[in-house]
Amino acid sequence: MFEALQITIPRYLKIAVDLAARIASGDIAEGEKLKGRSVLSTEYNVSPETIRRSMSILSDKNVVEIALGSGIVVSSKEKAIEFVKSFKDDESVAEMRLKLTQMFEKRKAIDEDIIAVTRQIIDMYKYMRTDLITPVEIQLPVNSHVIGKSIGALGVWHQTGATIIGIIQENKIIISPGPYYEFTKDDKILIVGDGNVVERFNVFVNSLN
């Protein structure tokens, strides 16, 4: 479902990095004149305009100097090393950002599946438990005494007769929370029970216990 995405790097930037790497390694020495655009465009199998953009990057990074009538001359091996290192660092950050984006997409899909399955479970309660009312969603009061306390410690079922089948938190649902679940602010509680369960549950969560 989620295919690995590829980070696309412009061709002119790849060429600039390649030339800088050759300068950094000493393959092309400081003070040496680079080949002309037409020769480099043939060597890299790109247009002269692509080479021009590559040279502009290297010039901006002070790796080469472009002089009218004198061609392109390597001006700094040190700057070439800095440029290559900076590019690799930026590339690593881009890869991590892409990976994080993919992880968020996967989590979103899982959350959507959880919500869909929970809705199915709620629908099943309607048919399997004819003695229970339709599941009801109740918003916890902001200052409810139950916030920060667990379902088991509060004795919710003994106090209200309500069976909690789910907790809605923003865009996710916790299915069948156990006795150790502690209520939090903004929780929406899905309950089922007899005809008076909603009234009893509301009184319970709104009480000053």
Digit-coded pLDDT (tens) for 148-190? 999 999 999 999 999 998 899 887 888 888 899 999 988 999 9
Identity of the residue numbered 39: V
Instruction: Clarify whether residues 22 and 38 are in a common domain.
Output: yes
Write out the two tokens for 12: 């002119």
Instruction: Clarify whether residues 186 and 123 are in a common domain.
Output: no
Instruction: Clarify whether residues 120 and 133 are in a common domain.
Output: no
Instruction: Clarify whether residues 113 and 141 are in a common domain.
Output: no
Tell me, what's the pLDDT at 145?
93
pLDDT along the chain (209 residues), means of 10: 54 88 89 87 90 90 84 90 80 65 78 76 59 76 92 92 89 85 92 87 86
Instruction: Clarify whether residues 24 and 116 are in a common domain.
Output: yes
Tell me, what's the pLDDT at 194?
82
Count structural domains, the chain: 2
Give the domain CATH number at 92: 1.10.10.10
Which of 127, 162, 185 is the endpoint of a domain?
Answer: 127
Residue 119 CA to residue 144 CA, distance in Å, equals 26
H runs (alpha helix) in the chain: 11-25, 37-44, 48-60, 77-128, 151-154, 156-160, 197-206
Tell me, what's the pLDDT at 2?
41
Instruction: Clarify whether residues 75 and 13 are in a common domain.
Output: yes
Which of 77, 102, 127 is the endpoint of a domain?
Answer: 127
Give the domain CATH number at 174: 3.30.70.1450
* Best CA proximity match to 175, nearest among 128, 81, 130, 111: 111
Phi, psi of 184, rounded to the nearest 5 degrees: -125, 165
Instruction: Clarify whether residues 113 and 135 are in a common domain.
Output: no
Tell me, what's the pLDDT at 149?
93
* Best CA proximity match to 172, nearest among 101, 118, 105: 118
Tell me, what's the pLDDT at 148?
93
Instruction: Clarify whether residues 85 and 147 are in a common domain.
Output: no
Instruction: Clarify whether residues 10 and 111 are in a common domain.
Output: yes
Instruction: Clarify whether residues 33 and 18 are in a common domain.
Output: yes
Tell me, what's the pLDDT at 122?
67
Phi, psi of 95, rounded to the nearest 5 degrees: -65, -40
Instruction: Clarify whether residues 117 and 62 are in a common domain.
Output: yes
191 lies in which domain range?
Answer: 129-206
Tell me, what's the pLDDT at 117?
75
Which of 107, 127, 147 is the endpoint of a domain?
Answer: 127
Instruction: Clarify whether residues 112 and 171 are in a common domain.
Output: no
